[in-house]
Structure 1
Amino acid sequence: MTTRYVQQRTSIFLSFLFLLFPAVLSQLSSNQTSIMVNLSKVLNFSNASWDATRDPCSWKGVTCSSGNSSVTGLFLSMFGLSNSNSLSDVCKIETLQSLDLSKNRLSLIPVDFVNDCGRIDGLKLLNISINKLAGPLPTFNGFVGLESLDLSFNFLSGNVSPQLDGLLALKSLNLSFNKFSGPLPVNVGKSLHLESLQLSTNHFQRSIPQDIANCQNLTEIDFSGNVLDGSIPSRIGNLTKLRVLILSSNNLSGEIPANISNIPTLFRFAANQNEFVGKIPSGITRYLSLFDLSFNKLRGPIPADILSQSKLRLVDLSYNHLDGSIPSSISASLLRLRLGGNKLSGSIPSSFGTLEKLTYLELDSNSLTGAIPPELGSCHSLALLNLAQNYLEGSVPSGLGNLNDLQVLKLQHNNLSGEIPSEITRLQNLSILNISWNSLTGSIPSSISNLQSLAFLNLQCNKLQGPIPATVNSMNYLLELQLGQNQLNGTIPLMPVKLQISLNLSSNLFQGSIPYTLSRLKDLEVLDLSNNNFSGEIPNSLTEMESLNQLILSNNQLSGVIPGFRPFVSLSASGNAGLRNKTATITPQESPKKGKSVAVPVVLAVVAAVLAVGAVSIIVVSLSRRFLKVNNQQSQSGEELPPPQVIDGVLLTTNGIHRSNIDFTKTMEIAADPLNIELKTRFSTYYKATMPSGARYFVKKLNWSDKIFQLGSHHKFGQELEDLGKLSNSNVMTPLAYVLSMDSAYLFYEYAEKGTLFYVLHGKLGNALDWASRYSIAVGVAQGLTFLHGCTSGPILLLDLSSQNIFLKSLKEPLVGDIELHKVIDPTKSTGSLSTVAGSVGYIPPGKQPFMLILICMKWL
């Protein structure tokens, strides 16, 4: 008993000592303990776990060897580090194997840090991604054991290659999302061990060298989002370990190498948004799961075996020039199939009915004929079915009502006939239903109100008869209702009070008085009752519709005095002989309109900005995809080319720009050099143009050859740009001038000194945005959107709304960028084609594109 008693007392005593003096019991050498204690001071961050009286191996982010005899890893991600000069103290830990400094505010890589850490033979991992590193890449001497180097999401620039040639053990290199230029660094570390090479979203130029095939251990290549040209090296098929090959969003051309199909390990191949031509090689999907060649210039038929491979999960061949029929042999594992925007003909294969896993099927904008296969009703996982803009005939299959997961159904612009099947109204998850521009007959099913998730209903331009079901009032989530150009009659029922975007009842057979109950729609922005037989006076109560900005009453039998609508309301009332004192149409003014329509977007924007501070994204559901190819088509041939000839140079405004400040020829030379790229948004590339006078502007280059822009007379294009330049709002970025050449257009914009909100939040000024600045930015963005909501100069496309295209003149003066006039965009490319790449939702003012989700989506990255 005495021995046991002594043992218990000794154990308690030792435990007490450990609690009071844990550092004393650490197995670290006194030297490493001293280094760690000193490191906790010089790194200058507050973390309660880094307590000098405790064992450093217990500190947060510190890992030690077995037995805690030495420090092997420092994982200091999101520690708020900002003092780059103190980093060299980390390199005093000679046993360090892993160093993670990601997601901090470091602005440079000190030479001392590189020199000192380069002497640590055991260092295998170095991660300084998502910081504010700027300037050229330092030379990494030493680092004989380094296997992984991640410098992604910084602002590093200049050429890359010799600085990394000494990294002989390197297996993974990630330089994505920087500003590097010059040729691709494919000889890093002599390429003996390199497995992952990620160089996406930089300014790398020229062609992909054949030497890439020397990197025999490569498993992942990502060169997307650069300005690479030339063809895919034929020897790339020799990389027998390659699993991922991503070449998207470049200027690559030529044909797709057939030997890519010989890579047995290849899991994903994406070369979308390039200029590839020729045919799709047969057998290329032999081993693939993910296959994307969308937005190229590929021709010919789809090979018969292309969709049948057993591992296929996603295939996107949309927006090429493919013809012929859709192969009938399709893999049962397919999840998404996108073939829209081609020249495909023939019928839709009934074999689609066997695809129980298929979630997305997009065959829109082709020349498909025949009936919609009833077998599609067996695709129980479908969430999106888009067969719009074809030549499909027959009725809408009632079996589509079995697709319980369906959220988007687009059948518009076909030759469909018969009645709307009541089975469709069983789709409880449906949010978008568009069957417009067909020849449907019969009445609107009274059970339409069962679609309680529906936000967009478009049945216009059919042959529908009878009244609007009174039950439509219960559709609580409906934002837009398009019933124009039918043969509807009867009484207009109570409408869903949350209707916001548009209510279109035009070109029907309605008669009698305009219901005063329409004034209940306080959030409605567009009301179109034109081309009916309405009579009597315009109800005064319509003036109480706080958000209304367009009222169309033309060609009825209305009489009496026109009520006094708010000045920003655009009223069209021609063709009513009995009306007096018609209100003139007024272009929306710069000051935001009063009432709820301003308050709502302001509140939304402020909330979005506040959530952004906490790194929380506001996500708005959108089932329409978005795409606009980055306009960056500079020649990289290396030849000296004469400057393009100026056809026309026009000053759009005298506010903020003077003709004497502009050298149009100089501007085109600047935009020909990718080194002058100041920043990229999702859809546009902006060059910093400094004129001989010293004036600075942003210049955006548009190419006539781009798929989305109209090919036609320069004169017409210039007229549309002038309309865009007439927009006047202090929070909207509009062109100040433009210059046209034979092959391109160059748009001048006000130079935003602070860049984009993205760069301010994640760049060197990340700590400069106080709450007052954030609030001012949020309100300014909301005011810009409010102005765009009411534009009557033509549909305005806001190509994306995110922190990357909110430009800042100062920390309190935002500009909403990346807007285009719809008329400037090629009308043969619907906004569906602008929505084909996953991402934040494109924003289009209400009533302009009924099938797109119009809610504001601010994805503050």
Structure 2
Amino acid sequence: MGRYNGPFFLPLFFLCFSSWLSLHSSADTSTSKLSQTQTLIMGNLYRSLHSSLPNANWNTSDPNPCRWIRVNCSSSGNSSLVKSLDLSGVGLYTAPNSSSAARFFDLLCRLDSLESLDLSANSLTVIPGFFFSNCSFLHGLKSLNLSSNMLYGALQNFSSFSSLETLDLSHNNFGGAVDSQLDGLARLKSLNLSANLFTGEMPTLGKSQGLEELVLSANSFYGQIPSDIGGHQNLTLLDLSQNDLSGSTPEGIGKLSKLETLLLSSNKLGGLIPKSLSNITSLSRFAANQNQFIGSIPSGITKYVRVLDLSYNSLGGEIPADLLSAPNLVSVDLTNNKLQGHIPNNLSHNLYRLRLGGNSLNGTIPETIGNLSNLTYLELNDNNLDSQIHPQIGSCKNLTLLNLASNRFHGELPEVLGSLRKVVVLKLQNNSLSGGIPDTFFELQVNLSVLDLGQNSLTGVIPSAISRLQSLSNLILEGNYFNGSIPDTIGNMSSLIELRLGGNRLSGTVPTMPANLRIALNLSHNLLSGSIPSSLGALTELEVLDLSDNGFTGEIPRFLAGMRSLTLLDLSNNNLSGIRPAFRNYVTVITSGNRYLINSSESQNTSRSRKKRSPIVIIVVVISMVAVLILAAVVVLLISSKRFYRVEDESPQLGESNLQIVNGCFVTANSIHRSSIDFSKTMEVASNPRKIILKTRFSTYYKAVMPNGVSYSIKKLNWTDKIFQMGSHERFRQELEVLGKLSNSNVMVPLAYVLTEDSAYLFYEHVHRGTVFDFLHKNLVNVLDWPSRYCIMLGVAQGLTFLHGCTQPVLLLDLSTKTIHMKSPKEPQIGDIELCKVIDPSKSSGSLSTVAGSVGYIPPEYAYTMTVTMAGNVYSFGVIVLELLTGKPAVSNGLELAKWALSHSARSSEREQILDPKIAKTSLAVRSQMLSILKVALACVSASPEARPKMRNALRLLFNAK
């Protein structure tokens, strides 16, 4: 495999804002002092750091280095020795062949008493060779942490560090095999090599018999787990996840009597689950999900385990009777296996997560489910469960997610489900449920975000009380037998982004719909009539509109052709007439089955072939046109005079001309920007809607040209619906100052801000040439070629890796192709990095899934976890990569791209078919690169957050794709 052998980022002194000042010294505060030699070394070390890191704030006002922050000493009598040095996250950068790097490590190597050295979370790319052979502390160092740097190449030989007990090399770019480099580390207790590029067979580490923690995850180790793994009797943690390990798991692993955590997830392991695992009394967590295990689940395996994850394997047979009963058991995930039989009755009272979806289980939900007072997540979907939904589920008062979809449940909806006041996601679709929607359901207005009752046999009218569910973002009632009219109150559901009422017997006209609808509005296959209402024009973010198979009459409104967000419009099989408007080329429009509808091209041809009009008709038409023109001229004159009057006496109210600056502040130290930016000029620009260059979900962008000719992008944030929570101006300033200190070419960093009473305006360097969405889907360039798409992927990945690697990681609330700005076809910049800092979703009238993210980019877990995470950002990134690979938008025809790609890439032979035809006609080598990147994208959009790679690892995989 070809590898990238250089740093991922431009040379930076600081990856992120250092929090040194908040840390306190734990040094010995006695009066004992260092020897003259060590005092001199520490002074030189300070000067070496200070020359390149003047803001490191290493306080040297105290003449005794033992009282400096991040320095620990031990004393003996009147003398002290430096024992521990913590330089993590201070922005150290070393370039290859750098003299300053050599001097820095030379000084470190003279501290012969050093036992612990932490250089993690910096920008180190190389470490001089003498560090591993000639350091004075070689035989005394016990702990070495080099994690989260940019070190690359083959692993150095660490055998000289004979006293080393803890070695952390995780989150770097080391590659190649791990053979003898770690031989001789007989005292090693903890080894972490995770998130690198290591290949070859898993290292045996036979001489490190005292090993307690071994973490090799997120590499490319292959082959079998060594059969002698059981010889490491002291292991408490063994993490081999996210590699390419294959074969069966050795039974000898059951000899690890002290093992507490065993992680084998995301490999190619097969065979049976070792029965010997049930002998490990200390085992608390066992995860072997996303492998190829077969056979039955061994009995007794959860006797001591608290967390079990065997999802996405090929396990069969019945669930052992004792599997779910162990009193310590809190979480079980057996999703997507081949399990049969009944769900055992004996359930642990401490279970808070039970996921059994995607199997072939039958029978009923056990009555004992009502005893699980801690149960938070219950997923039994896609099985063959029968009978009625057991009312005992109503006793699980802490349920947040209840998914019983795609089973054979029948009978009426239990009223007791309305007592689940904490439920966020309720999915009961694809069953045989009947009757109406119980009134108790409308008591779930505080938390319920997703309600899916589609494809059942429900009857009656849709109650107007449904509008009480003000947190609801997704309402799906399609494929039932609801009748009557759509309740007028539905327009009051302000959080709704998806509404599917198709396939019912609804009649009457279409009422005003919720203005925030974005994913889809599906009213197809009903008995609706009348004209298509003009109120639909207010749905400015709607992507799918399906009104097919109804009785709509009249013409197709022209506002539909002006809805920029639409990707699918289905008006087929109605009674529409007139001329069909021309739509944008990226919109799929279906109008078949309307007898009297004429395409615009047909209309033009017909008009050319008409016979001459009679003179009388022509005269009437001319007179009418003249009258209209005269009337229009009078109106224009009246408006002009009125406008002139306002200019003279009132000042024109363009936009927001009376904006009052509450506070304006710079967050950049750059003197050029400080001298260029004019806050008053900004307010003039923000008052003029003609200066708008882009609108996103939370922001409006303006272009402002300052008096000296320098252009800036001004972003307005709206504090609407109490979503944005500034707190005080001081807190807001502090948050932005942290962001203002970031420096990465792929991240839009704020330079300054202005606060008004209800808005904030942020300043950025003006680089806007459109967004990735514009380039890809609106044809800003003829065809976005493969080299440009690859550069965009790398740029976004680099920017996101940078943000996640900060001392205080920066998470993105909304990452999509519409929030990534383009400096050029190959230079992306991530925008909206401040949203997570200034938005408080808990203050919104909607759920997190309503606030966080754009449709198609939102990870599935956001629907019920209510937390923005790094794994969620990785999911959004994966969707962006899929867009660039397939040329398809994140949502197309109502189907999310991530789900479509996963379903169409189950077989390797099918994967090439989903590539964008515009770029797929290329050499075999380039197509191979595309398919390698497709694997990365599919891993990023995994349904399981734990299975997604870290951004740093995803970036490496992109760099090394071939």
Shared fold (TM-score greater than 0.5)?
yes
- Determine if contact 1:522/1:544 at 8 Å carries over to the other structure: no
Q: Work out whether 1:836 is the aligned partner of 2:943.
A: yes
Q: 1:139 aligns with which of 119, 134, 157?
A: 157
2:54 corresponds to 1:64? no
Do the aligned partners of 1:133 and 1:154 also contact (CA within 8 Å) in 2? yes
Query: What is the rounded CA distance, in whole Å, between the counterparts of 1:252 and 1:841 in structure 2?
Result: 18
Partner amino acid for 2:33? Q
Q: In structure 2, how many angstroms separate the alpha carbons of the residues matched to 1:733 and 1:197?
A: 48
Structure 2: which 5+ residue stretches go unaligned?
1-27, 95-100, 603-689, 702-712, 718-735, 748-775, 807-819, 834-852, 858-871, 891-896, 908-937, 950-962
Aligned equivalent of 2:53, options 37, 45, 48: 45
Aligned to 1:264: 281
Q: Which amino acid aligns with 1:30?
A: Q
| Cα separation, 2, equivalents of 1:531 and 1:418 | 25
Alignment of 1:2-81 (within 5 A): 27-43=33-49, 44-46=52-54, 47-51=56-60, 54-66=63-75, 69-81=80-92
254, 260, 283: which is aligned to 2:300?
Answer: 283
Q: Which residue is equivalent to 2:588?
A: 570
Q: Partner residue of 1:305?
A: 322
Shift of 1:546: 3.9
Spell out the pairing of 1:442-457 with structure 2 (5 A cutoff): 442-457=460-475
Tell me how far apart the structure 2 counterparts of residues 205 and 833 of structure 1 sit (CA, whole Å): 21
Q: 1:615/1:227 Cα in 2 relative to 1: closer, same or farther (>3 Å)? A: farther
Q: Report the equivalent of 1:219.
A: 236
Change over 3 Å in CA distance of 1:120–1:730 after alignment to 2 = farther
What is the aligned partner in structure 1 of residue 357 from structure 2?
Answer: 340
Shift of 1:448: 0.7
Would the alpha carbon gap of residues 419 and 534 (structure 1) be closer, same or farther in structure 2, given more than 3 Å must change?
same
CA distance in 1, matches of 2:788, 2:585: 30
Aligned to 2:930: none
Check conservation: 2:486, 2:511, Cα contact below 8 A. yes
Shift in CA distance, 733/425, structure 1 to aligned 2, threshold 3 Å: farther
Is 1:367 the counterpart of 2:375 in the alignment?
Answer: no
CA contact (8 A) 2:29 2:67 kept: no
The equivalent of 1:238 in structure 2 is 255
Alignment check: 8 A CA contact 1:117 1:143 kept: no
| Structure 1 spans left out of the alignment, 5+ residues | 1-21, 585-593, 619-725, 737-747, 790-797, 843-861
Which of 554, 561, 571 is the matching residue for 2:572? 554
Distance 1:476 1:731, change over 3 A: farther
Query: Partners of 1:481 and 1:727 in 2: how far apart?
Result: 25
- Which 10-residue stretch deviates more, 51-60 or 511-520? 51-60
Does the C-alpha gap of structure 1 residues 611 and 525 become closer, same or farther in structure 2, counting only changes over 3 Å? farther
Deviations 1:233-289 (A, max 9, x none): 111111100000001111111101111000000000011111111100001000000
What corresponds to 1:193 in structure 2? 210
Structure 1 residues 835, 753: CA separation in 2 closer, same or farther (over 3 Å shift)?
A: closer
Q: Which amino acid aligns with 2:72?
A: T
Report if aligned partners of 1:298, 1:320 keep a CA contact under 8 Å in 2: yes
How many Å separate the matches in 2 of 1:841 and 1:197? 21
Letter in 1 for 2:454: S
TM-score, structure 2 normalization: 0.64
1:599 aligns with 2:599: no
Task: Give 2:116's aligned amino acid.
Answer: S
Indicate conservation of the 8 Å contact 1:799/1:820, yes or no: no
Q: Does 1:151 align with 2:231?
A: no
Change (3 A) 1:555 1:750: closer
Matches within 5 A, 1:630-641: none
Q: 1:832 to 1:803 in 2, by over 3 A?
A: closer
Q: 1:568 to 1:730 in 2, by over 3 A?
A: closer
- 2:124 is aligned, of 106, 113, 116, to 106
Following TM superposition, by how much is the alpha carbon of 1:778 offset from its aligned partner in structure 2, in angstroms? 3.4
Q: Residue 921 of structure 2 corresponds to which residue in structure 1?
A: none
Partner of 1:353: 370
SS in structure 2 of the partner of residue 375 of structure 1: helix
CA distance in 2, matches of 1:408, 1:615: 40
Measured after TM superposition, the shift of residue 574 of structure 1 is 1.5
Q: Provide the residue aligned with 2:681 in structure 1.
A: none
1:566-615 CA-to-partner distances (Å, cap 9, x unmatched) read 4544322221112222579xxxxxxxxx9999732796999999979969
Please give the alpha-carbon distance, in whole angstroms, between the structure 2 residues aligned to 1:295 and 1:200: 18
Mark the CA change 1:825 to 1:206 in structure 2 (over 3 Å): closer, same or farther.
closer
Match of 2:125, SS state, is: coil
The equivalences for 1:776-795 within 5 A come to 776-778=827-829
Per the alignment, in what secondary structure is the counterpart of residue 253 of structure 1? strand
Conserved? CA contact 1:547–1:596, under 8 Å: no
Contact 2:586 2:777 in 1 (8 A): no
CA distance in 2, matches of 1:825, 1:458: 27
Alignment of 1:708-747 (within 5 A): none
Query: 1:116 deviation in Å?
Result: 3.5
Q: Please name the residue that 1:180 is paired with.
A: 198
Q: Deviations over 1:757-815 (max 9, x none)?
A: 44576599x99x99969994137999xx99999xxxxxxxx99645578679x9xxxx9
Contact 2:788 2:826 in 1 (8 A): no
Alpha-carbon distance, 1:48 to partner = 2.6
- From the superposition, tell whether residues 307 and 439 of structure 1 become closer, same or farther in structure 2 (CA, over 3 Å): same
Partner of 1:824: 904
1:418 aligns with 2:435: yes
1:824 counterpart letter in structure 2:
H
Cα 1:825–1:596 shift into 2, 3 Å: farther
TM-score (normalizing by structure 1) = 0.71
1:409 and 2:505 are equivalent in the alignment = no
* In 2, Cα distance between equivalents of 1:758 and 1:262: 44
Q: Distance in 2 between matches of 1:254 and 1:71?
A: 52
Distance 2:563 2:394 in 1: 42
How many residues get paired? Answer: 672
Instruction: Measure the CA separation in 1 of the matches of 2:485 and 2:111.
Output: 80
- Within the candidate set 527, 535, 544, 1:509 is matched to 527
RMSD of equivalent CA atoms:
4.3
Q: What's the counterpart of residue 478 of structure 2?
A: 460
Asked whether the 8 Å contact 1:88–1:116 carries over to 2, the reply is no
Equivalent-residue separation in structure 1 for 2:109 and 2:822 (angstroms): 38
What amino acid sits opposite 1:179 in the alignment? L
Give me the whole-angstrom Cα distance separating, in 2, the residues matched to 1:786 and 1:217. Answer: 48
1:69 partner letter: S
Q: In 2, distance between residues paired with 1:532 and 1:320?
A: 41
Q: Percent identity?
A: 45
Give the partner amino acid of 2:468: N
The alpha-carbon distance between structure 1 residues 471 and 291, as it changes in their structure 2 partners (threshold 3 A), is: same
Contact persistence 1:40–1:50 (CA under 8 A): no
SS at match of 1:481: strand
Q: 2:496 aligns with which of 478, 493, 510?
A: 478
Q: Decide whether the 8 Å contact of 2:877 with 2:940 is kept in 1.
A: no
132-141 or 535-544, larger mean C-alpha shift = 535-544
Distance 1:276 1:468, change over 3 A: same
Structure 2 residue aligned with 1:692:
none
Q: Provide the residue aligned with 2:115 in structure 1.
A: 97
Cα–Cα, structure 1 residues 244 and 24, in superposed 2: closer, same or farther, change >3 Å?
Answer: closer
Q: Could you say which residue in structure 2 is the equivalent of 1:248?
A: 265
Residue 405 of structure 1: how far off its partner (Å): 0.9
Once residues 512 and 99 of structure 1 are traced to their aligned partners in structure 2, the CA distance between those partners, rounded to angstroms, is: 76
